[in-house]
Amino acid sequence: MEQEEEPTLLNIGCLDAGLYTVCDIVPTCRWFQTQTIAIDDVEKEQERYIAEGQTTFVLARDTYPEVIHEKYELAAQAPWYLDDQEFTYYLFRLKK
């Protein structure tokens, strides 16, 4: 992300854990992270952002919509552990 001139980010599947702050990114989408409540409209809107390629990067935890492969490529993935739970984070980058 640091190599991008003005990176943008969408965080899906979980709350933002400070990544926007660490990366010095100002959110550009209304639903820039997944909220703690399940709202179908939020998921649909986030999927639209992805289908339109609205952000440079998408960070997803555990799952992501299939439409992501149309505009994005997998840049990295890593496991993350919290107590006895294991999560997988995926970082997608907009295709050039």
Structural domain contains residue 51: yes
Rounded Cα distance, 82 and 77, in Å: 17
Structural domain contains residue 46: yes
The structural domain count of the chain equals 1
Structural domain contains residue 1: no
Long-range contacts of 38-44 (CB under 8 A, 24+ apart): none
Query: Contact at 8 Å (CB) between 68 and 93?
Result: no
Give the per-residue pLDDT at 17.
Answer: 74
- Which SS3 state, helix, strand or coil, does residue 34 take? coil
> In sequence order, what are the residues at sequence separation of 6 or more whose Cβ sits closer than 8 angstroms to the Cβ of residue 88?
61, 62, 77, 78, 79, 80
Q: What is the pTM of this model?
A: 0.89
Give the per-residue pLDDT at 77.
Answer: 97
Owning domain of residue 89 = 9-94
Give the per-residue pLDDT at 92.
Answer: 97
Give the per-residue pLDDT at 76.
Answer: 95
Q: What is the chain's pLDDT, residue by residue, as a tens digit (96 residues)?
A: 778 889 999 999 888 878 888 888 999 999 888 876 767 788 899 999 999 999 999 999 999 999 999 999 999 999 999 899 999 999 999 998
Structural domain contains residue 19: yes
